[in-house]
Amino acid sequence: MTDPGFSQTANSLLVVAGGAFTVPLLARKIKLPASVGEILFGVLVGQEVMDLVHGGQFIDLTAELGFLLLMFIAGLELDFRKLEAGGVKPLLHGLGVTLCVFVFALLACVGLGFDPFLGLVGGAISIGIPLVLLQETGLGKTPFGQNLMLVGSIGEFASILLVTAVAAYDHAGGINADFGLEIGEMALIFIGAYIVLAVLRTMVWWRSESFSRVVESHDPSEIGVRGGLFLMFFFVAVAAKLQIDPILGSFLAGALFSFVFRGKGPLELKFMSIGNGFFVPFF
């Protein structure tokens, strides 16, 4: 006899999969971004309106994987050739925009008499939905799209780091040895990323023929996809171990992969197919 819990999960999967297939088609007809249509569809079938989709362990895990894959793709889409050609100007521009957003949010909260912590919340930047829109409109590869992704990525980084620092401050009860220890743990993931980058670049240089399979368009074993997912889950696990938001680890993994494997065109399309085709709609 079928487990009632599995039956409920299967029904939820059917509704989400049906929406993921039909909503983009309908959205195109009315000239609405598919991601916006999917969000509206999620609200409609959710527990607050029609109550057709019920969160469960599998659904929640799939949604979390969708967000992690989205952040991995965000890192993967960074074109380091263009960024290096542009020098430090795009980076400084991204830092400047992020700083202005946080300062404005903080001043607004203080001026309105709210807790300054709300300034951190109000100034938080997320690349998730803008990334989907950039992919959908084809702007991700344009200079505008690259600049927007850079600003969003820096903002996401800054938001995660600031929230982690505030949480460490609250947990330690002030600036003390415990606070320094927690900040040190956060720095470990960046040290780890640098070590992985150095090792990967050395291995690719030393065994270039073997690693050429990673970016091949026709590889029955899909070594590139397996390697990318391994790197993503490695940094997600490290981030979780250090009690840091896993999306930081996922984004770092994508950025590292993009930095090492510059000619990643076919592989990038494969990850977008996996993410946007199944996991991201659940997110």
Residue 101 shares a structural domain with residue 1: no
Tell me what pLDDT residue 248 has: 76
Residue 194 shares a structural domain with residue 154: yes
Cβ–Cβ < 8 Å for 160, 250: no
Tell me what pLDDT residue 7 has: 75
Neighbours of 217 (CB within 10 A): 10
Cβ–Cβ < 8 Å for 214, 224: yes
Q: Is the pLDDT reported for residue 1 higher than 50?
A: no
Tell me what pLDDT residue 238 has: 83
Closest residue by Cα to residue 228 from 25, 88, 49, 71:
71
In a domain, 264, yes or no: yes
Distance spanning both ends of the chain, measured CA to CA: 31
CA 1 to chain centre: 40
In a domain, 177, yes or no: yes
Better pLDDT: 139 or 5: 139
In a domain, 283, yes or no: no
Residue 40 shares a structural domain with residue 74: no
Q: CB-based contacts of 172: which residues, under 8 Å, 6+ apart? A: 178, 179, 181, 182
Cβ–Cβ < 8 Å for 267, 261: yes
Residue 268 shares a structural domain with residue 151: yes
How many whole angstroms separate alpha carbon 177 and alpha carbon 254? Answer: 33
In a domain, 267, yes or no: yes
In a domain, 140, yes or no: yes
Give per-residue pLDDT as tens, 246-257.
877 888 888 888
Counting the structural domains of the chain, the total is 2
Residue 149 shares a structural domain with residue 267: yes
Cβ–Cβ < 8 Å for 77, 257: no
Q: Is the pTM of this model over 0.85?
A: no
Residue 45 shares a structural domain with residue 107: no
Residue 207 shares a structural domain with residue 145: yes
Residue 82 shares a structural domain with residue 99: yes
Residue 45 shares a structural domain with residue 179: no
In a domain, 282, yes or no: no
Give per-residue pLDDT as tens, 189-210.
778 777 877 777 777 666 666 5
DSSP state of 174: S
Sorting pLDDT into bands at 50, 70 and 90, what band is 87?
Answer: low
Q: What percent of the chain has pLDDT over 70?
A: 79
Q: Is the pLDDT reported for residue 10 higher than 60?
A: yes
End position of a domain, from candidates 15, 40, 55? 55
Sorting pLDDT into bands at 50, 70 and 90, what band is 129?
Answer: low
Residue 200 shares a structural domain with residue 232: yes
End position of a domain, from candidates 31, 55, 79? 55
Tell me what pLDDT residue 264 has: 63
In a domain, 148, yes or no: yes
Average pLDDT over all residues of the chain: 75
Residue 176 shares a structural domain with residue 49: no
Give per-residue pLDDT as tens, 255-274.
888 777 766 667 777 777 77
Residue 10 shares a structural domain with residue 84: no
Residue span of the structural domain in which 45 resides: 1-55
Q: Is the pLDDT reported for residue 34 higher than 60?
A: yes
Q: What percent of the chain has pLDDT over 90?
A: 0
CATH number, domain of 98, equals: 1.20.1530.20
In a domain, 242, yes or no: yes
End position of a domain, from candidates 9, 34, 55? 55
